[in-house]
């Protein structure tokens, strides 16, 4: 037991002695949290728009006005001809070109299928579809308004029965994207950082030659591994605390559930991640190799964690891949507990799966550590 | 001179080739990334688990439920008795959307011509919540028209939408350029900064520096294999995109590859600069991770649209090399644009490259004089 | 000398290590008495490091057996480790820890009590005259000091035997001399020293030496004995004659 303490003490001294390292595990993650939470938004706004008005009628002007006041669009240009609109699209200054054809108003009055045309730069699929959908909605509303000009009131107030749909957004009424991103990013950052640090750790001692000195001492395998893990576990918990504080102060993320559940889960999660990190460290010959291997896992873990895109949108086989993914569970627990107030029982499944991962990864870590060649 | 330089290149190439695992990862990573992005990353709505509180329990409410579930988009997983039960279903995460059909639904609909339905979305994830609500609204509206036989009014204004450059809205058109930018940054900048930091850490750098060659030649010798590797990787990703996901190169391939090399030089400059600043591999790694990789992923517009970011971050995006390179790629590959369209972005990259090389050179001298 | 000294500190019988087809250590047999300074000589690649790694438990022998401090290296590896110290070819203290922190750490892993560690630290600092540098990081010390510190740390738990693998590489003759003074001081209090080297002048300092050529022990005896046997004026000559054969 006492031997264990000496290893832990040594690791801490090394962490705090490294001047380059300290800011990297304190300030930088906070900056990441802030930047990522702001940047990682799939909100569609500020779509750049050009309108080619070839009709110059009253209705055309009204439609343009309606679009102007919608806050999702920035009207960047009124090109005089369709050709100019295309050029704008080509050089990337606008995302969508709306063309109001000549005789738009007349066609409408004659009920001859008046129509506007949308040219959409669809390279970014989401921006394109959502932007076009917003515009279509505006045109539809406009359509309903001007129908009143030509149709008798009787026909408008149709006698057909209607279902009124009232929708409400639970747990995040204002649809605040940062509430959604910040907790997930905290989980992800803690996991990545701890995994990278551990993965580099043992292999670093191997590269520098100090591991040999340790191997000739009577220290036990488990003492050595545990001595390496505990300091990083503590670093991870501190990081989580700092992250939660920052999330509260900067984004005012609601804390609906119990922080105990969060910390308890973090502990289990880190135990799993540390095992994986040490396993990678043990099977690597150089830090470069360890780093690359970790990266390979981390990138796949992040992309398949549901952090940026919903797990429900993945194909079924990929959804199974999220089960052995510690980041996916961490992100889920953080969001559920903080935003929805989920209890320990609600996230029990995540605890159980992660506990299995703890056993698997750590058995791998201990068995792959060889004192003797 | 050239001979010694080539000797260095050879030495470093042997190092890389001998390390099979690194090689597997270096080539496996881009392929894995492309496949993950191609097949799993999507915001597309596929279907969701819903819960329904049916307080009406009449024929019409049963029909509505049947209508919703028959589409295949909604799977009814829970029928909680009340709102408290609904909240629980949200908290365990098994349900993403709740629908409440109030008592007397059928009567209101046919007699008063006006019935209400309540949609409750788990809005922790705002976009998904909006998508779900929209979907359910559309389906309920369709149901209402079916039941109420509403006539379509005349005097309609149509909207003809034409999706340019990517008519079928393939995600690959967006992510292939992004993956190339990311991979080049990862391999070129990060691996070079690590190899150099490694030589410093293990003390072999001093051995190299006392040789009669100029330090920069030594550095170049060390990093050239990584440049070649990254370039090969980029070509692999382009090929994968073309063969598997039908991402075309409409413009000049030569121009694309030349500008690819330019971007590689920028990445290289960054890598060398980091290695001159970092004393250990760990520091080099963490610096690369947080100053190169994350910004490249996040601020380049590859995963998240730059236009949706706060203004400060939009400005910050201007110093991310990947942003310009992705613009270049998209222009040449998807729009078939020529030199004029990518001129500006290319000049920015040239400026960045010169700046980074100058900074690296300066720092390098300071450390080793 | 006590009764226990009758028993040899190290014995090796037919100790062999093969890597695939290559035999790095070929059935070597020798024994080292307690309190002896035993030199293990050989050209680079002769198998010295492989042999020492088997004795300290970092490598499994392919064949043969050996005992260290009376314990079998194959079956009683943990007891072996309790009783030995090791100083490797590569400098292996933590460069980013201070002198005191290094002593503290290794003392701790060898299971010394806080009190013992404190006494030991004070003793080492005094012996090496490191008072002014005790809280400096080891990386900032000159190589000669680092090596003497590494030796002191290898003996922090007062082991019966200290193994050293080319401990004096890269230091000047004066520093080497002082290093050997430390080795003698340790031997005087009964510690057995097992040292590999390729400096032939250092061989003269040993009580007995063995010379390894191509994985085998080609000669074994005291320096004088070997010089007589090979009719040589110095150990250098002995070595050259052996290698040429």
What pLDDT digit, counting tens, does each position of C140-149 carry?
Answer: 888 888 888 8
Query: Is the pLDDT higher at A136 or at A338?
Result: A338
Domain identity same for B307 and B278: yes
What pLDDT is recorded for position C161? 93
What pLDDT is recorded for position B366? 43
The tens digit of pLDDT for each residue in B134-148 reads: 788 878 888 887 776
Pick from A7, A202, A212, A231 the residue to mutate for testing the C interface (most C CBs within 10 Å).
Answer: A212
Query: Is the pLDDT higher at A39 or at C150?
Result: C150
Domain identity same for B136 and B194: no
Domain identity same for B229 and B324: yes
What pLDDT is recorded for position C208? 92
pLDDT exceeds 90 at position A265: yes
Domain identity same for A224 and A274: yes
Domain identity same for B203 and B265: yes
What pLDDT is recorded for position A324? 92
What value does the mean pLDDT take over residues C147-166?
89
What value does the mean pLDDT take over residues A297-307?
86
pLDDT exceeds 70 at position B209: no
What ranges do the domains of chain C cover? Answer: 95-145+154-158
Residue with tokens 């709505």: B45
Asked if residue A132 belongs to a domain, the reply is yes
Residue C3: pLDDT band (50, 70, 90) is very low
Phi and psi, residue B19, nearest 5°: -90, 85
The tens digit of pLDDT for each residue in C205-230 reads: 899 999 888 888 888 999 889 889 88
Here the CATH number for the domain that contains residue B75 is 3.40.1710.10
Share of chain C above pLDDT 70, in %: 97
What pLDDT is recorded for position A263? 95
Domain identity same for A121 and A69: yes
Asked if residue B155 belongs to a domain, the reply is no
CB contact under 8 A, A161 and B195: no
Asked if residue B348 belongs to a domain, the reply is yes
What value does the mean pLDDT take over residues B186-212?
74
Given a contact cutoff of 8 angstroms between Cβ atoms, the answer to whether B338 and B255 are in contact is yes
Residue A48: pLDDT band (50, 70, 90) is confident
Domain identity same for B182 and B291: yes
Query: Is the pLDDT higher at A61 or at B204?
Result: A61
* Among A100-109, A118-127, A264-273, B175-184, the least confident range: A118-127
What value does the mean pLDDT take over residues B205-210?
63
pLDDT exceeds 90 at position A112: no
Domain identity same for A139 and A178: no
Domain identity same for A188 and A128: no
Domain identity same for A240 and A304: yes
Domain identity same for A255 and A360: yes
Domain identity same for B189 and B280: yes
Strand order in the sheet with C192-197: C84-87, C161-165, C192-197, C37-42, C208-213, C216-221
Domain identity same for B195 and B300: yes
pLDDT exceeds 50 at position B27: yes
CB contact under 8 A, A13 and C97: yes
pLDDT exceeds 90 at position B214: no
Domain identity same for A277 and A192: yes
pLDDT exceeds 70 at position C41: yes
Query: Is the pLDDT higher at B237 or at B18?
Result: B237
Number of CB atoms found within 10 A of residue B278's CB = 22
Pick from B50, B171, B308 the residue to mutate for testing the A interface (most A CBs within 10 Å).
Answer: B308
Domain identity same for B195 and B324: yes
Domain identity same for B93 and B191: no
Domain identity same for B6 and B69: no
Domain identity same for A185 and A144: no
- C58 touching chain A per CB within 8 A: yes
CB contact under 8 A, A216 and C86: yes
What pLDDT is recorded for position C38? 94
For residue A136, give both structure tokens: 């279509």
What pLDDT is recorded for position A20? 65
Q: Which residues of B211-236 are buried (b: 16+ CB within 10 A; e: fewer)?
A: eebebeebbbbbbbbbbebbbebbeb
Asked if residue A124 belongs to a domain, the reply is yes
Domain identity same for B206 and B116: no
Number of CB atoms found within 10 A of residue B13's CB = 15
Residue B369: pLDDT band (50, 70, 90) is very low
Number of CB atoms found within 10 A of residue A141's CB = 12
Return left, alpha or beta for C97; rule: phi > 0 is left, psi -120 to 50 is alpha, else beta: beta
Mean pLDDT score of chain B: 80
What value does the mean pLDDT take over residues A329-336?
92
Pick from B31, B93, B131 the residue to mutate for testing the A interface (most A CBs within 10 Å).
Answer: B93
What pLDDT is recorded for position B367? 46
The tens digit of pLDDT for each residue in A228-258 reads: 888 989 989 988 998 899 889 988 888 988 9
Which of A167, A180, A286 is closest, CB to CB, to B119? A167
Residue C235: pLDDT band (50, 70, 90) is confident
Asked if residue A301 belongs to a domain, the reply is yes
Across A359-363, A368-372, B163-167, B364-368, the highest mean pLDDT is recorded for: A359-363
What pLDDT is recorded for position A173? 76
- A125 touching chain C per CB within 8 A: no
CB contact under 8 A, C58 and A371: yes
Domain identity same for B221 and B357: yes
Q: How many domains does chain A have?
A: 2
Cβ-Cβ contacts under 8 Å between A and B: the total is 344
Domain identity same for A188 and A335: yes
* Among A6-20, B98-112, B193-207, the least confident range: B193-207
Strand order in the sheet with A96-100: A73-77, A47-53, A96-100, A115-121, B158-164
Residue C13: pLDDT band (50, 70, 90) is very high
Domain identity same for A128 and A84: yes
| Bridge partners, C72 (sequence order) | C67
Domain identity same for A228 and A363: yes
Residue of B nearest to A341 (CA): B91
CB contact under 8 A, C111 and A10: no
What value does the mean pLDDT take over residues A63-84?
83
Asked if residue B158 belongs to a domain, the reply is no
Residue with tokens 């055309």: A60
Range of the domain at A92: 47-150
For chain A, list the contacting chains (3+ Cβ pairs, <8 Å): B, C
What pLDDT is recorded for position B225? 85
What pLDDT is recorded for position C1? 40
Residue B256: pLDDT band (50, 70, 90) is very high
The tens digit of pLDDT for each residue in B264-280 reads: 999 988 988 888 888 77
Phi and psi, residue B310, nearest 5°: -60, 155
What value does the mean pLDDT take over residues A280-296?
85
What pLDDT is recorded for position A77? 81
Asked if residue B159 belongs to a domain, the reply is no
Share of chain A above pLDDT 70, in %: 91
Give the span between the Cα atoms of A151 and A108, in whole angstroms: 12
What value does the mean pLDDT take over residues B293-321?
80
Asked if residue B165 belongs to a domain, the reply is no
Q: Which of residues 57-86 of A touch B (CB under 8 A)?
A: none
Share of chain B above pLDDT 70, in %: 85
Residue with tokens 């005349």: B154
Mean pLDDT score of chain C: 86
Instruction: Find the helix packing angle between B191-201 and B253-277, rounded to 10°.
Output: 30
CB contact under 8 A, B128 and A312: yes
Domain identity same for A109 and A181: no
Pick from A142, A161, A336, A347 the residue to mutate for testing the B interface (most B CBs within 10 Å).
Answer: A161
DSSP reduced 3-state for B53: strand
* Among A6-10, B220-224, B254-258, the least confident range: B220-224
Chain centroid, CA B178 distance in Å: 6
What value does the mean pLDDT take over residues A325-353?
91
Residue B133: pLDDT band (50, 70, 90) is confident
Range of the domain at B101: 48-148
CB contact under 8 A, A17 and C137: yes
Given a contact cutoff of 8 angstroms between Cβ atoms, the answer to whether C51 and C44 are in contact is no
Q: How many domains does chain B have?
A: 2
Given a contact cutoff of 8 angstroms between Cβ atoms, the answer to whether A216 and A71 are in contact is no
Nearest Cα of chain B lies from the Cα of A371 at a distance, in angstroms, of: 22
Asked if residue B213 belongs to a domain, the reply is yes
Vertex B134 angle, CA B131 and B135, to 5°? 85
Asked if residue B34 belongs to a domain, the reply is yes
pLDDT exceeds 70 at position C241: yes
pLDDT exceeds 80 at position B312: yes
Give the span between the Cα atoms of B330 and B327, in whole angstroms: 5
What value does the mean pLDDT take over residues A69-79?
81
């Amino acid at each position: 037991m006492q031997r264990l303490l000496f290893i832990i003490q040594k690791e801490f001294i090394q962490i705090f002695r490294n001047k380059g390292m300290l800011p990297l595990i304190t300030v930088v993650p906070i900056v990441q949290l802030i930047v990522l939470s702001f940047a990682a938004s799939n909100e569609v706004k500020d779509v750049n728009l050009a309108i080619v008005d070839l009709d110059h009628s009253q209705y055309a002007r009204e439609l343009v006005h309606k679009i102007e006041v919608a806050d999702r669009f920035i009207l960047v240009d009124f090109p005089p001809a369709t050709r100019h609109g295309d050029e704008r699209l080509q050089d990337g200054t606008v995302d969508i070109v709306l063309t109001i054809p000549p005789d738009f108003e007349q066609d409408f009055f004659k009920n001859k299928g008046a129509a506007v045309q949308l040219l959409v730069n669809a390279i970014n699929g989401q921006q394109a579809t959502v932007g076009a959908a917003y515009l279509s909605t505006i045109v539809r509303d406009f359509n309903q308004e001007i129908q009143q000009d030509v149709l008798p009131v009787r026909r408008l107030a149709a006698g057909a029965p209607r279902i009124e749909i009232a929708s409400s957004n639970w747990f995040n009424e204002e649809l605040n994207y940062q509430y959604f991103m910040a907790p997930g990013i905290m989980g992800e950052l803690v996991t990545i950082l701890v995994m990278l640090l551990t993965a580099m750790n043992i292999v670093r001692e191997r590269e520098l030659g100090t591991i040999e000195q340790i191997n000739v001492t009577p220290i036990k395998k488990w003492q050595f591994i545990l001595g390496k893990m505990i300091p990083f576990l503590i670093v991870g918990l501190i990081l989580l605390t700092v992250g939660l504080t920052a999330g509260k102060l900067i984004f005012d993320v609601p804390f609906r559930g119990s922080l105990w559940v969060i910390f308890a889960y973090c502990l289990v999660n880190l135990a799993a991640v540390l095992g994986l990190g040490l396993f990678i460290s043990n099977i690597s010959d150089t830090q470069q190799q360890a780093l690359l291997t970790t990266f390979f896992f981390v990138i796949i873990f992040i992309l398949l964690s549901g952090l940026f895109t919903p797990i429900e949108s993945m194909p079924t086989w990929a959804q199974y891949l999220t089960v052995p993914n510690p980041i996916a569970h961490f992100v889920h627990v953080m969001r559920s507990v903080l935003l929805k107030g989920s209890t320990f029982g609600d996230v029990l499944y995540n605890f159980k799966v992660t506990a299995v991962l703890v056993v698997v990864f750590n058995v791998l870590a201990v068995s792959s550590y060889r004192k003797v060649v | 001179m050239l001979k010694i330089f080539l000797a260095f290149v050879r030495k470093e190439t042997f190092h890389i080739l001998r390390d099979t695992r690194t090689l597997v990862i270096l080539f496996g990573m881009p392929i894995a990334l492309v496949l993950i992005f191609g097949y799993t990353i999507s915001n597309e709505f596929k279907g969701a688990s819903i819960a329904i509180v049916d307080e009406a329990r009449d024929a019409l409410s049963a029909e509505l439920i049947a209508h919703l579930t028959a589409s295949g988009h909604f799977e009814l997983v829970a029928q909680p008795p009340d709102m408290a039960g609904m909240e629980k279903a949200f908290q365990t995460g098994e349900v993403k959307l709740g629908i409440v059909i109030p008592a007397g639904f059928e009567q209101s609909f046919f007699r008063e011509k006006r019935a209400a339905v309540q949609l409750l979305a788990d809005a922790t994830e705002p976009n998904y919540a909006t998508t779900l609500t929209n979907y359910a609204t559309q389906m309920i509206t369709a149901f209402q028209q079916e039941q109420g036989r509403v006539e379509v009014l005349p005097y309609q204004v149509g909207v003809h939408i034409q999706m340019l450059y990517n008519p079928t809205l393939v995600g690959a058109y967006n992510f292939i350029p992004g993956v190339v930018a990311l991979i080049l940054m990862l391999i070129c900048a990060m691996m070079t900064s690590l190899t150099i930091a490694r030589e410093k850490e293990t003390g072999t750098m001093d051995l190299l520096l006392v040789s009669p060659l100029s330090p920069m030649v030594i550095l170049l010798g060390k990093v050239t294999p990584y440049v070649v590797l990254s370039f090969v990787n980029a070509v692999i990703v382009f090929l994968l995109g073309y063969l598997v996901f039908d991402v075309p190169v409409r413009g000049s391939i030569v121009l694309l590859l030349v500008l690819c090399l330019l971007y590689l030089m920028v990445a290289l400059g960054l890598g060398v600069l980091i290695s001159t600043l970092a004393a250990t591999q760990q520091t080099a790694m963490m610096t690369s991770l947080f100053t190169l990789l994350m910004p490249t992923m996040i601020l380049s517009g590859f995963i998240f649209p730059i236009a949706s970011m706060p203004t400060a971050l939009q400005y910050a995006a201007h110093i991310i090399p990947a942003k310009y390179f992705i613009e270049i790629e998209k222009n040449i590959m998807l729009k078939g644009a020529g030199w004029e369209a990518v001129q500006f972005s290319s000049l920015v990259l040239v400026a960045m490259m010169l700046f980074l090389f100058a900074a690296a050179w300066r720092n390098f001298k300071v450390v080793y004089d | 000398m006590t009764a226990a000294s009758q028993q040899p500190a190290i014995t090796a019988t037919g100790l062999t290590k093969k890597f695939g087809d290559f035999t790095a250590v070929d059935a070597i047999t020798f024994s080292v008495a307690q309190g002896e300074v035993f030199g293990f000589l050989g050209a680079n690649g002769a198998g010295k490091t492989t042999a020492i790694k088997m004795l300290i438990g970092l490598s499994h022998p392919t064949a043969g057996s050996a005992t260290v401090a009376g314990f079998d290296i194959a079956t009683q590896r943990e007891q072996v480790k309790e009783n030995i110290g090791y100083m490797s070819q590569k400098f292996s203290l933590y460069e980013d820890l201070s002198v005191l922190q290094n002593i503290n750490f290794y003392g701790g892993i060898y299971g010394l009590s806080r009190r013992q560690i404190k006494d030991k630290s004070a003793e080492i600092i005094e012996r090496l005259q490191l008072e002014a540098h005790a809280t400096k990081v080891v990386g900032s010390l000159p190589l000669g000091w680092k090596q003497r510190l590494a030796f002191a740390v290898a003996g922090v738990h007062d082991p019966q035997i200290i193994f050293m693998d080319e401990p004096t590489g890269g230091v000047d003759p004066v520093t080497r001399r002082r290093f050997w003074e430390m080795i003698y001081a340790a031997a005087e209090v009964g510690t057995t020293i097992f040292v590999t080297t390729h400096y032939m002048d250092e061989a003269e300092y040993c009580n007995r030496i063995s010379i390894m050529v191509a994985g085998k022990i080609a000669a074994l005896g005291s320096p004088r004995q070997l010089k007589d046997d090979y009719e040589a004026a110095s150990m250098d000559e002995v070595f050259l004659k052996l290698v040429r054969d």
